[in-house]
Amino acid sequence: MTNPTASNIHIALVHFPVYNKVGDIVTSSVTTLDVHDISRISRTYGIATFYVVTPLSTQQVLVERMMKHWLEGYGSTYNPTRKEALLVTRVKNVLDDAVTDIATRTGKRPKTVIPDAKSFPQSRDYPTIREELKNKDEQYLLVFGTGWGLEHGLVKRADFVLAPIEGLSGYNHLPVRAAVSVILDRLLAREA
């Protein structure tokens, strides 16, 4: 296996505080498909750490049990590439715990980059953020929300907000796994 933690870029999938479809702040459910797929996406793009952020102990146990199967159990020999992908994955209670973990391990507090389906005053385009991420003297944490998006206070406190992904229609509600794929490709893929 190659070194899965050679990057200065981390991502977090946040399940609280997020909005539901009527605008209430809630905790969304973790899906194991998100954990599997975003771990694989993270490994493909050289992400240092993928944080699954949920304050619910039952959801943390679900993720840890699934990870144990693929990292130590039968799954570790049945599908070694899944094991390799999950090596970058960690579970945290709140986003600040992920920030603290990065700062403790690297000596640098990460700058936060939040993709959002809406534009904000501090929104930046992809080429600008792509250039920013090339600064190897910094650590970066890309923060993805679940449900109907991250609570706006988190977005306002971000160092950078990515401009929305815009397709060819007015519809803009991608599944988070698709958004992670599109965004990481735009920001980190090798230039053609």
pTM for the model stands at 0.94
DSSP β-bridge partners for residue 140: 9, 111
Confidence of residue 190 (pLDDT cuts 50, 70, 90): confident
- Measure Cα distances from 36 to 50, 90, 121 in Å: 11, 12, 34
CATH architecture of the domain 9-188 equals 3-Layer(aba) Sandwich (3.40)
Q: How confident is the model over 79-129, as pLDDT tens digits?
A: 999 999 999 999 999 999 999 999 999 999 999 999 988 888 889 999 999
**Cβ count near 127 (within 10 Å):** 10
β 9-14/49-53 pair status: parallel
Contacts of 103 (CB under 8 A, 6+ apart): 109, 110, 139
Helix/strand/coil for 53: strand
**Segment 124-164, tens digit of pLDDT:** 999 999 999 999 999 999 999 999 999 999 999 999 999 99
* Unique residue bearing structure tokens 């943390």: 60
Per the rule left: phi > 0, alpha: psi between -120 and 50, beta: everything else, 46 is left
Domain map (residue ranges) of the chain: 9-188
Is 87 in contact with 4 (CB distance < 8 Å)? yes
